[in-house]
Structure 1
Amino acid sequence: MTGGGPGAALRAEGHALPVASAVPALLAALRDSGRAVLSAPPGTGKTTLVPLLIAGSTGGRVLVAEPRRMAARAAARRMAWLLGEEVGGTVGFTVRGERRVSARTTVEVVTTGVLLQRLQRDPELGGVGTVMLDECHERHLDADTAMAFLLDVRAVLRPELRLLAASATTDTGAWAALLGGPDGPAAPVVEAHGVPHPVTVRWAPPPRPVRPPHGMRVDPALLEHVAATVRRALREDDGDVLCFLPGTGEIARVAGMLGGAGVEVLQLHGRAPAAVQDAALAPGDRRRVLLATSVAESSLTVPGVRIVVDSGLAREPRMDHARGLGALTTVRASRAAADQRAGRAGREGPGTVHRCWAEAEHGRLPARPAPEIALADLTAFALQTACWGDPDASGLALLDAPPGGALAAARATLRDLGAVDAAGHATSRGRRLTHVGLHPRLARALLDAAPVTGPGRAAEITALLSEELPASYGSDLAAAWRAVRRSTDAYTGRWRGEARRLEAALRADEPDGDRGGGGGGGARSGAVTDDTAAGLVVALAFPERVARRRGPGTYLMVGGTAAEVTGAIGETPWIAVAVADRGVGRAAARVRVAAAVDEETARTAAAGLLAAYEEVRWRDGDVVARRVERLGAVELAASPLRRPDRAAVRAALVEGLRAEGTGLLRWSRDAQDVRQRIAFLHRVLGEPWPDVSEGALLARAEEWLGPELTAARRRADLERADAGAALNRLLPWASGQAGRFAQLAPERLEVPSGSRIRLDYGGEQPVLAVKLQELFGLRETPRVAGVPVLVHLLSPAGRPAAVTADLASFWREGYRSVRAELRGRYPRHPWPEDPSTATPTRRTNNPRR
């Protein structure tokens, strides 16, 4: 380390940090190859000491990228303290909405989101000598993207730029290979070995089974058990308690359960006020319990903590790409996360971790959290890569490629926003959206709403949407906006700061001639109410979530998803949904935040989904011909068509036939017989005799019902169509075989009495049902198309007496018993001894003809 840099003025505490011994090897790796991976356990000084020593030994500013704003501010404060300075001198930081740097700053801590914006504006990162990506093991999407861009910069623009990936885990092989490039050797890996204090693991499963997490819901019984575990740990162990919970809602509930515990309870999360964050990161005057999200897993050292209580839960993003619904969901924490959390208890001395699950369950937990790129909405990522010049991200060095379906959905959203062209390349509008520092949807809403509502109101409403709204503000965004303007709570301070930032971004985006009074948009905004303004911003951000009421508390979004709403907002005809989630197995989404809109606003915001067309289709059992206007899945208006297109009507009738079957047609007895005769020939002879099964007839409906379909206009016309006559069109006329139809499958068969008896072709064999006396003298069974008929021999009264397919055998063997049974009953009818030589007779009652 050379003199004169920040490292020269370090307090003794800095030189004593365990990572200091690894710094010479790290500096050598950066000097020799310009790339390195640092593996250092939490608490060793990786985040706070290493940047200072690099700045003191190499040229150029050191840029440290942290995944969270809290971590960035805390790291900068800690480094400034080690130098005996205030933040903004040698060490500064920049996060969204806050920047504290000066001309003297040589180490700047930023969030990965800020780093991405800088890379888009200035890919060369002028003046920066080293970029350190901290906590890269957490696999946040912005961090993965920033590293890919930095590797591009180093390969093309600035080969001297030094890159350092810092991880709190030893799983560094993939990062070393990534930094080494596809053709080069892996980047050097430098390991810092801390002096970990022992941490005793105590398994503390709930005394009774609890329901697993579902969506954002956590079983209250588990939270009660976590609070009880904290109380027990306070009794049994020494030191402050750091308790990990999945989200702010659970933190607030457990905080309420710990009232009266005689300790200071702090709530530590990304939205906590800066004063609370500062208090958490400084030694307390009395014993403390810090309730934290995963924000406290790494990066931050919380002094005084010797006890960790781990609920075992975490929040991960999930995206329903088909419905455009993104949300956080509660999951079991990974084993890697559990190890990180437990390590917090051993940073300053021996500690204890209480894990609120059974030891037998631990091995079944996922080994590590899934990378965010595999789970999250990729719209912002897709816009970043499009602006970078690599729309499909195929040329970027990423540890995990983006899922194809998620990336396609993101690019489709960007096309709808006008942010990319048909090839996926960024438009000038897309570049404007990136400069705002918001998700592209919110940036679009801000820019497009400002001319209508005025920049100030557009910025305020968009700021409400830029982070999770506290549940206490309710589901009506306009009401929440009015409430937050009167409030003095911690959320209000953050909201006001973000609103100011967004309004400044709008001013910077305006053409020079429009700056100064809010422009034309400000002049027009006076006529726009708060409710209208809130609805417009939400509708512009989420046009596919504009929804129309279809019943009490139920809506249909124009994107096709059903939605359920509670509260007064659920009584308005139209809403725009800002936040919704759809639980596993639920058909409808649950709306958490929405704003009322009118139909005109809905049409404007979702104009890309507006369509007017003529619709002719089979619906509710008949042909419906209408002129329809729709906004996506929502039907706005419809009127009857007087002269619908004939081809469309024909197609609708075919649709109806296929939906309801050939039973729509008129099937007389003759028509049914024709179908059965054709089916018989197809079965026994095959081609060219056609298949007339239900499926086959429906598949060829337009062929054999052509004239009937052309003439028909509605269901009633089909019901009058003669199916039998139409079936004749399927006979093999072209080959000349159709002329043999009556010969091969005759409708009737003449018997010895001279009667012509109708054959029944409904079974496997044709059936001839005839009075026994009419067949006297017939020695052999009749055949049809080579198939023996099944003879049903009837009594003089027309009742079945015998069935045979071998008439000669029946005369020899079966007739005697029939004769003996029936001749006494019917004495006036002939019953000869030898029926094969007797004279046939028609003298029967009620012959079946």
Structure 2
Amino acid sequence: MTPSPHRFDLQSIGAGLPVTGARDQLEAAARTGAMVVTAPPGTGKTTLVPPLVANLSGGLTLVTQPRRVAVRAAARRIASLDGSAPGGPVGFTVRGQRQVGEATRLELLTPGVLLRRLLAEPELPGVAAVVLDEVHERSLETDLLLGMLSEARQLREDLLVGAMSATLDAQAVAGVLDGAAVVDVPSALHPLSVEYAPSPAPRLDARGVTRDYLDHLARTAVRAQAGSGADALVFVPGAREVDELVSRLEGLIGHGGGDEVEVLALHGRLPAAAQDRATGGRRPGEPPRIVVSTSIAESSLTVPGVHLVVDAGLSREVRRDRGRDMTGLVTVSASRAAADQRAGRAARLGPGRAVRVFAESDLVGMPAQSPPEITSTDLTDAALWLACWGTPRGKGLPLLTPPPPAEIAAAESTLHALGLVEEDGRPTARGRRVARLPVGVREARALLDGARALPGREAARQAAEIVAAVSDDHRPVGADLPRLLQELRSGRAPGADRWARERDRLARIAREARTPAADGEPVPSFTGVSPAEKAGAVLALARPERLARRIAEGSRSYLLASGTRAALPEGSGLLGSDWLAVWEVQRADGRAADGTGAVIRTAAPLTEEDALAAGADLLVTERSATLDSGTVRARRRRRLGAIELASTPVTATTEDAVPAVLDHVRSRGLEALEASESAGRLRARLALVRRELGDPWPAMDEKSLLARLETWLAPQVSARTTTLSAVDATSGLRLLLPWPEASELDDLAPERLAVPSGSTARIEYPPPEAEDGRPVVAVKLQELFGLAETPRLVRGRVPVLFHLLSPARRPLAITDDLRSFWDGPYREVRKEMRGRYPKHPWPEDPWEAPATARTTRRR
């Protein structure tokens, strides 16, 4: 007989929690099949809602938390209130650790674990409900899960999907879940006092958080906590700052006398036992505590017993330098929403106090919310997940924020180079295997191919050592990864135990991934024999675009295959290496970057042969040509991405000349053409017709002509083109004329105008860029006697503007109304000019006098 499924005692679990007051609304929303719950931190949503959903769903309920420490803390808290232990009715799964049994009804897990489970089994068999917690953090994986689960509900109408958050646009999330029911749980905070204690020293400099500020932060925390008996929670941006502040606090407390205080660190890189100690609360008889934490204690987990919060007002966020193809964590001001959530942690159980260690005026300049991770991070992993889900580039998937087009296209290009997607974006068989591995895409490529490419029985372990060293925040001295590996193996480097655990996990993954299908896929053959060169070869498999060659003998600057330049730190053990496989690059200025704008933070040397093998997909042989002093010079080049390997001069052909000439003109503008006078006049004529008649007459402005060089200029270029002046631009422009309208051009905008004297005068048209302007005819006054009506061009739309000249061809008058000129101003001109030019006719009646270009005697 099958035992009845476990039911959680919601009354006992929710006792004293503000969210209990909304239990009826929560149950009603859950019964609709999709729900969105908004509740401020400390209301108990993470404690009560998951078991409530599990009771209603009748099956296994999965609940995500954004961090491993939060997963374990939440599982431990719910299990404790249920009177059980993790692994029973309440279980959890994080990377490298799983406590789930046959009786588990509620499984907490990280978004990455759930995402890979969903890719393997889109219908989630055996799962009755999924709840995504802390959606407001807008992590990449949670954003993708929200869209994927919305589609999964179309396969499984019985699947209950929920989203929970401290602060979020509930209606937008409900829209992604196709009109989910929304439950808003109000805040139940106790009185909270907020103080400001800005530092006289700057919080940040080019290297991050300043030492002077950390000193001030430590003193402020000690003063705030002194004598209160309260547990304090101090927020700093990253693990490094946590460790440094803990050291400062221990020094101040140890030398200051007074009450005993325990100082604890809390961040994601700590061992599970240390994390659990910090999140487990103070036991009876223990001294007050100061817990120094990153943002993981901001909303995704609760540190019990806290009545004092000290906030540095800083956050560590992902930023991407698209131009240099660099993604990294940077320290910035936290958002106002984060500052409010942190302060609220002090008033959960009673009156609280928050000390903000920045100026009140700084709060105004903080962003309202942190940007969604999908807009600022490397999307290589996400692009593979989307491809395996059947929505390449995210097209058609309901998402709160779509991926930036340029970033997702670049990520897809990377995946294609790694052999994980086809040209159309569909995943390869290998790509589907990699997407399900609990490791990043680049790391997976290095791990799996490295395990097969390295010689010997320990290849999987060696590849795992290298990948484990770059997967965590192990910062090698002088960017020297081989040296770091030696220190990690010996146990001397900080975090060596953590590295060893990750090495063993990765080695196990590499061995389990060895299948006949995988073994049939090609891998590079490496020649490097030293441990350092082997490390470089494996690293190159993960980031072939960051293969780098030294710029010059004795230089510490390198050119990466991606086109970025970066420098090794001074004194690096890698100086002198001709080739490097670079893992991490960071923007920098001044001497540290050797003028390149970036510093190499993690790298390993490798042989040129291994660089070419690992970067085989980036190898290109091509011809290129340039215009040098009017001559087209061609070369055959072989390059690895942006790194030129060989360059040989060759005889130029028309195929070389055309792009060389066109590129030259694009970069320097039309004036580089040295075009003939006839080309300039034709362009001006066409510009006037275009201005007056529009399509189909072609635009003649520079931007439009540069955009169509292939149409009109390219046909005029040949292998014999040695100077730009030899290019027939006039014939090229005529190629743009529309047919049959081209036959009208000489009538619409003639080159010359016939005048009454029997001769013709050149028409000067306004420049093509002019928005107005008139065609001008400069002609001797005597040649127009008797002409009353001013000629008009372009079907009578544009009157000619006459510049009437003296016999010495100096201007006497400007007019577009000849009738008025003859009847008026002409008399003054005659009176002044007849004595100066007596050999030329100046009749009293210009209407009757014959027009002439000759003098009186010649007549």
Q: TM-score, normalised by structure 2?
A: 0.75
Residue by residue over 1:332-382, the C-alpha shift from the partner in whole angstroms, topping out at 9 and shown as x without a partner, is 222221111011112333221111233344344332222222332222222
Residues in 1 aligned to 2:670 and 2:20: alpha-carbon distance in whole angstroms:
86
2:299 corresponds to? 298
2:602 corresponds to? 593
Say whether the 8 Å CA contact 1:4–1:56 is kept in structure 2: no
195, 203, 207: which one pairs with 1:202?
195
Residues in 2 aligned to 1:19 and 1:791: alpha-carbon distance in whole angstroms:
98
Assess, with a 3 A threshold, how the Cα gap between structure 1 residues 123 and 584 changes in structure 2: closer, same or farther.
farther
Give the residue type in structure 1 aligned to 2:481.
Answer: L
Say whether the 8 Å CA contact 1:473–1:483 is kept in structure 2: no
Say whether the 8 Å CA contact 2:59–2:126 is kept in structure 1: yes
Residue by residue over 1:511-530, the C-alpha shift from the partner in whole angstroms, topping out at 9 and shown as x without a partner, is 26999xx99999x9896432
> Structure 1: any 5+ residue segments left out of the alignment?
687-691, 728-733, 746-760, 769-777, 794-801, 818-836, 841-849
Give the residue type in structure 1 aligned to 2:153.
Answer: R
2:577 corresponds to? 572
1:368-407 to 2 correspondence within 5 Å? 368-407=369-408
1:554 equivalenced with 2:560 (yes/no):
no
Residues in 1 aligned to 2:721 and 2:701: alpha-carbon distance in whole angstroms:
26
1:143-542 to 2 correspondence within 5 Å? 143-157=142-156, 159-169=157-167, 172-179=170-177, 181=178, 186-189=180-183, 191=185, 195-207=188-200, 210=202, 217-235=208-226, 237-262=228-253, 263-282=261-280, 283=282, 285-453=286-454, 454-470=459-475, 473-487=477-491, 491-511=495-515, 528-542=529-543
Give the residue type in structure 2 aligned to 1:303.
Answer: P
Shift of 1:698: 11
Assess, with a 3 A threshold, how the Cα gap between structure 1 residues 25 and 448 changes in structure 2: closer, same or farther.
same
Shift of 1:109: 1.5
1:640 equivalenced with 2:649 (yes/no):
yes
1:754 corresponds to? none
Say whether the 8 Å CA contact 1:20–1:49 is kept in structure 2: yes
Shift of 1:3: 9.7
1:731-746 to 2 correspondence within 5 Å? none
2:133 corresponds to? 134
Say whether the 8 Å CA contact 1:36–1:190 is kept in structure 2: no
Shift of 1:256: 4.2
Shift of 1:655: 5.7
Give the residue type in structure 1 aligned to 2:653.
Answer: D
625, 629, 636: which one pairs with 1:616?
625
Secondary structure of 1:412's aligned partner = helix
Say whether the 8 Å CA contact 1:666–1:722 is kept in structure 2: no
Residue by residue over 1:422-459, the C-alpha shift from the partner in whole angstroms, topping out at 9 and shown as x without a partner, is 33222211111112222222222222222112211112
Give the residue type in structure 1 aligned to 2:463.
Answer: A
After TM superposition, the structure 1 stretch with the greater mean CA deviation from structure 2, 164-173 or 241-250, is: 164-173
Assess, with a 3 A threshold, how the Cα gap between structure 1 residues 678 and 441 changes in structure 2: closer, same or farther.
closer
Assess, with a 3 A threshold, how the Cα gap between structure 1 residues 264 and 135 changes in structure 2: closer, same or farther.
same
Say whether the 8 Å CA contact 2:443–2:467 is kept in structure 1: yes
1:845 corresponds to? none
Assess, with a 3 A threshold, how the Cα gap between structure 1 residues 15 and 712 changes in structure 2: closer, same or farther.
closer
Assess, with a 3 A threshold, how the Cα gap between structure 1 residues 684 and 426 changes in structure 2: closer, same or farther.
closer
Say whether the 8 Å CA contact 1:196–1:346 is kept in structure 2: yes
2:839 corresponds to? none
1:581 corresponds to? 586
Residue by residue over 1:97-116, the C-alpha shift from the partner in whole angstroms, topping out at 9 and shown as x without a partner, is 11222333332221111011
Residues in 2 aligned to 1:27 and 1:665: alpha-carbon distance in whole angstroms:
73
Give the residue type in structure 2 aligned to 1:229.
Answer: T
1:91 corresponds to? 90
2:793 corresponds to? none
Assess, with a 3 A threshold, how the Cα gap between structure 1 residues 109 and 473 changes in structure 2: closer, same or farther.
farther
Assess, with a 3 A threshold, how the Cα gap between structure 1 residues 791 and 587 changes in structure 2: closer, same or farther.
farther
Say whether the 8 Å CA contact 2:20–2:48 is kept in structure 1: no
Residue by residue over 1:800-821, the C-alpha shift from the partner in whole angstroms, topping out at 9 and shown as x without a partner, is xx99999x9999989999xxxx
After TM superposition, the structure 1 stretch with the greater mean CA deviation from structure 2, 387-396 or 288-297, is: 387-396
Give the residue type in structure 2 aligned to 1:160.
Answer: D
Assess, with a 3 A threshold, how the Cα gap between structure 1 residues 677 and 501 changes in structure 2: closer, same or farther.
closer
Assess, with a 3 A threshold, how the Cα gap between structure 1 residues 258 and 767 changes in structure 2: closer, same or farther.
farther
Residues paired across the two proteins, number? 778
Say whether the 8 Å CA contact 1:203–1:356 is kept in structure 2: yes
Secondary structure of 2:47's aligned partner = coil
Say whether the 8 Å CA contact 1:19–1:40 is kept in structure 2: no
Residues in 2 aligned to 1:41 and 1:114: alpha-carbon distance in whole angstroms:
26
Residue by residue over 1:22-42, the C-alpha shift from the partner in whole angstroms, topping out at 9 and shown as x without a partner, is 474266326632333333433
Shift of 1:383: 1.5
Residues in 2 aligned to 1:385 and 1:700: alpha-carbon distance in whole angstroms:
37
Residues in 1 aligned to 2:244 and 2:461: alpha-carbon distance in whole angstroms:
35
Residues in 1 aligned to 2:433 and 2:335: alpha-carbon distance in whole angstroms:
38
Residues in 2 aligned to 1:5 and 1:678: alpha-carbon distance in whole angstroms:
88
Say whether the 8 Å CA contact 1:5–1:57 is kept in structure 2: no
Assess, with a 3 A threshold, how the Cα gap between structure 1 residues 308 and 520 changes in structure 2: closer, same or farther.
same
Shift of 1:65: 1.2
Shift of 1:146: 1.9
Residues in 2 aligned to 1:173 and 1:325: alpha-carbon distance in whole angstroms:
34
Say whether the 8 Å CA contact 1:767–1:790 is kept in structure 2: yes
Say whether the 8 Å CA contact 2:567–2:596 is kept in structure 1: no
1:101 corresponds to? 100
Say whether the 8 Å CA contact 2:527–2:607 is kept in structure 1: no
Residues in 2 aligned to 1:168 and 1:666: alpha-carbon distance in whole angstroms:
66
Residues in 1 aligned to 2:562 and 2:486: alpha-carbon distance in whole angstroms:
29
Give the residue type in structure 2 aligned to 1:498.
Answer: E
Assess, with a 3 A threshold, how the Cα gap between structure 1 residues 108 and 627 changes in structure 2: closer, same or farther.
same
Secondary structure of 1:384's aligned partner = helix
Residue by residue over 1:645-667, the C-alpha shift from the partner in whole angstroms, topping out at 9 and shown as x without a partner, is 14534664676678779999999
Give the residue type in structure 2 aligned to 1:479.
Answer: R
Residue by residue over 1:578-606, the C-alpha shift from the partner in whole angstroms, topping out at 9 and shown as x without a partner, is 11234799973332222223322222222
Secondary structure of 2:582's aligned partner = strand
Query: What is the CA RMSD across the aligned residues, in angstroms?
Result: 5.4
Secondary structure of 2:563's aligned partner = coil
1:115 corresponds to? 114
1:603 corresponds to? 612
Say whether the 8 Å CA contact 2:317–2:330 is kept in structure 1: yes
Shift of 1:326: 1.5
Residues in 2 aligned to 1:132 and 1:279: alpha-carbon distance in whole angstroms:
27
Residues in 1 aligned to 2:670 and 2:152: alpha-carbon distance in whole angstroms:
68
1:653-664 to 2 correspondence within 5 Å? none
1:826 corresponds to? none
Residues in 2 aligned to 1:151 and 1:720: alpha-carbon distance in whole angstroms:
64
Shift of 1:735: 12
Q: TM-score, normalised by structure 1?
A: 0.76
1:28 equivalenced with 2:27 (yes/no):
yes
Residue by residue over 1:185-204, the C-alpha shift from the partner in whole angstroms, topping out at 9 and shown as x without a partner, is x325263x564322210122
Say whether the 8 Å CA contact 2:117–2:436 is kept in structure 1: no
Residues in 2 aligned to 1:696 and 1:153: alpha-carbon distance in whole angstroms:
49
